[in-house]
Structure 1
Amino acid sequence: MEDKILVHICCGVDAVWALRKLKMDFPDAQIKGFFYDPNIHPEEEYELRWIETLRICEDLGIECIKGDYDIERWIDLTKGLENEPERGKRCTVCHDLRLEETAKLAKKLNFNKFTTVLLMSPKKDFQVLKDVGESIGRKYGLEFLAVDFRKKGGVENMNRLSKEYQLYHQNYCGCMYALFQQRKDKGYISELVSFGRGRIAGSREELLFIKDIRIFAESLGLKVKEDKFKFIGWRLIRSVLTVNKEPVPHRVLPYSSSLKSVLRAKVARSYEEEDKVVLNLNKGNVQIWITDNPEAESLKKPRLFTDPVFITDNSIPQDAKIELQLEADFIPDSESTNLIIGNPDAESYVEFYSDTLPDGSLGFDPEKIKELLISNREKILSGMLSVRIYGAEHCGKLGREYSKIGEKSLKKL
């Protein structure tokens, strides 16, 4: 009987070596993947791990089934276990759920074996996974393959291949409760928060945009390279602007520093500057920009000074009573990515960028980029044309600046 192995997959990093190891150990077997992780939160994180899993599977010629995002079920099953430590009872429930669903699917597909790439992770208890898997295997009449993917340089192979594939490395297992324990000192947990409806620079949404374009370009046989860079990120947590006690719709210029408390102020002076009227307030080194140009929020160059700037299209009387509140967060270890499709030294290139404003405006539709890749595939393959997608455009065109630094370094060599 031909061996048919269904492999539970939690992420691309754990899968990149484990799937190769299975193909080597079972060269004549039919291997299929099953991506199923109901513990992962939020859904954008689930999608990011899925797209990296899909990329690995497609490269290895392995079909992969995407399981439903079922966070509600996981929350119900782990009630009362929220404060359990890593590798505690909550993790056992999580293992049971994922392996049971894998076994059910294996039985439905007439597979005779199943396993999980969780066995790859140094953070997981191998013996616990082995015991759970074998117990569930007996229940469904299947053989559980307790492969120790970590042995004989497995972890080193995983790390090496992850770098070669430029895989997304998650910084938490996906479980929100585990993350609460890791971030006890934070007022909020950025991994679980969506800042606006768009793809702000350094966000999970921006990276998912890049990964989506990448996997599509690779499906066309195009050469692709990610160039990551670190920068100081910024996120708006909350802001309030009232004029004569009436709330005023507004935006906040990126990299505006927080106000310690409610600031009550008046206009000290006003003047015109390019396409806006600038109001200097008599307290707090705060400015209000009055403009009908939404691009005022998109920085054309990095900010050197971080005095708070509020932006509105409402007129404000000179004698108005103004109240402001602003809480923002600076993230010193933010990361964004430039994506190069084709030969970086191509004689011509087309430029895009990956981020948007928080409301989703001033960004590119990924489908438009994919259409361009299809229509220009031959030019890209021949080296005549490349496509560049820059990261952190609205933070002062940081991706473009990083690209220029890289080009200068290459010229020196």
Structure 2
Amino acid sequence: MDKILVHICCGVDSVYALRKLKEDFPNSELIGYFYDPNIHPEEEFELRWIETKRVCNQLGIECIKGDYDLDLWLSSVKGLENEPERGERCTVCHDVRLTKSAEIAKELGCNKLTTVLMMSPKKDFEVLKEVGEKVASEYGLEFLAIDFRKNGGTEKMNKLAKESELYHQNYCGCIFGLLPQRQFSDFIPELITFSKGRLAGSREELLFIKQIRLYAESNGIKCKEKDFSFIGWRLLSSVCKVNKDYVNHKVLPYSRTIKGVLRAIVSKIEEREDFKIAYLNKGNAKIYILNELKELPLSEPRIFTDPVFIVDTQLKEGDKVELQLKSEFIPDMVSQNLYIGDVESSERKLEFYSDTDSDGNNGYRLEDIISAIDENKEDIEAGKVGIVVYGVELVGRLGRRAIS
């Protein structure tokens, strides 16, 4: 019986290609090998791995996760950073990935090798065929050069990816391919981690959802994701000085940018139940004074976006403050709710959420939700219990509002 190692780059490219291979080689054993040291950053690598694993689980195909050999990849493409997409850098990248795949194929006793990269319209089929045949011959393997795009393959892939609710990446994964795609912008959000936590609408929040879904589905529990769009917000930089001294601080989400530097004087201190508010003699900024420095979750969406700083420094009237703030509003940010089991008809619903504050606090751990799945597995399967993980909880509970 033929044994075929299939190099896999992501869930989307594999969702139809693997089905096509099973159809064309019904008497062969397929083994998936996810190997993508070209992907930046590592969180993106993990996200694509999870979606690959979900696809392979659906089809009953064993899948092996390769190492994240970033240093090897960077040294291999050194000097080719400015090559265009489909240029020499891509050829070297294909060679790196297929050479490692051939090594693994040989170790596992496979006699054939192929790659789902031939599914992607962004890749040159003839170059992949040439590289694949060269590498395979060096290891005594047969390379299967299959144009998965033929006969409506791309349309079938897109349909299956949508049905499986797969994460659809918007760049190939390579940093050097992404830079010109973003026109060499100084600010490329795909390559930036904005916090230690899982901010609303971030890749880290999505990765958390996908990890939960993979676990639930691996245990035979059906899941459903519902995407929703919202106006997102990111803090880019901030400075708070009191009487010329830098002060540790937080910024309330959805605080707008301050143009230039705001130099003002504390004109009034107002007592509230849990904190104080320092008002300034000019500008619309405010300072919340807490006993302990922490971020404040929003139970309602913010409509008014005046800048609000949070400190644990006890200000007094007459103090001089200096504030700087740069933030970004994103009108088309996306998050998702995850439904585990039959949530709508279940007798009991367990509720969690996926985001945290920027420090990683005020949220759930992966272990918390996995434990809830394990403890209620029988009742979930019987339709008695459903679990929902809401997105965008801490900045206005938007995931809960998205279902109405």
Q: 1:219 & 1:135 partners in 2: Cα distance? A: 37
| Consecutive aligned runs of 4 or more in structure 1 exceeding 3 Å deviation | 292-296
Describe how 1:311-350 pairs up with structure 2 within 5 A.
Answer: 311-345=310-344, 346-350=346-350
Secondary structure of the residue aligned to 1:119 is: helix
> What secondary structure sits across from 1:111 in the alignment?
coil
Amino acid of the structure 2 residue aligned with 1:377: K
1:238 Cα deviation from its structure 2 partner: 1.0
Q: 1:382 deviation in Å?
A: 1.4
Distance in 2 between the 1:233 and 1:381 partners? 35
Instruction: Name the residue aligned to 2:202.
Output: 203
Match of 1:408 in 2: none
How far apart in 2 are the matches of 1:86 and 1:47?
A: 23
TM-score, normalisation: structure 1: 0.95
Deviation per residue, 1:215-244 (Å, 9 max, x gap)? 111122212110110011111111111111
| Aligned residue identity for 2:178 | L
Is the 2:293–2:311 contact (alpha carbons within 8 Å) kept by the matching residues of 1?
A: no
1:231 aligns with 2:205: no
Query: Deviations for 1:270-303, whole angstroms, at most 9, x for unmatched residues?
Result: 2123311111222321000001366752111101
> SS where residue 137 of structure 2 aligns?
helix
Q: What is the TM-score when the length of structure 2 is the normalising length? A: 0.97
Alignment RMSD (CA, Å): 1.2
Instruction: Confirm whether residue 108 of structure 1 aligns to residue 120 of structure 2.
Output: no
Change (3 A) 1:211 1:294: farther
Match of 2:215 in 1: 216
Q: Tell me, yes or no, if structure 1 residue 308 matches structure 2 residue 310.
A: no
Extract unaligned runs of 5+ from structure 1.
406-413
Counterpart mapping for 1:378-389 below 5 A:
378-389=378-389
User: Which residue in 2 is equivalent to 1:410?
Assistant: none
Aligned residue pairs: how many? 403
Structure 2 unaligned runs (5+)? none
Q: Does 1:177 align with 2:176?
A: yes
What is the alpha-carbon distance in structure 2 between the residues aligned to residue 349 and residue 71 of structure 1?
Answer: 42
8 Å Cα contact 2:269/2:316 also seen in 1: no
Letter in 2 for 1:374: D
Please state if 1:81 is matched with 2:89: no
Query: 1:355 is matched with which residue?
Result: 355
Shift of 1:268: 2.3
1:98-147 CA-partner distances (Å, limit 9, x unpaired): 11111111112221110000000011111110111111112111111001
TM-superposition CA deviations, 1:149-177 (whole Å, max 9, x none): 11111111101110110000011111111
The 3-state SS of whatever aligns with 1:275 is: coil
Partner SS for 2:319: coil
Amino acid paired to 1:355:
D
The CA distance in 1 between the partners of 2:45 and 2:291, in whole Å, is 38
The amino acid across from 2:31 in the alignment is: K
In 2 relative to 1, CA 315–272 (structure 1 residues): closer, same or farther, beyond 3 Å? same
In the other structure, the counterpart of 2:145 is 146
Note if 1:21 corresponds to 2:20: yes
Quote the Cα distance in structure 2 between the aligned partners of 1:164 and 1:131: 33
1:89 shift after superposition: 1.2
User: 1:385 deviation in Å?
Assistant: 1.1
CA contact (8 A) 2:250 2:294 kept: no
Following the alignment from structure 1 to structure 2, what is the Cα–Cα distance between the partners of residues 108 and 138?
15
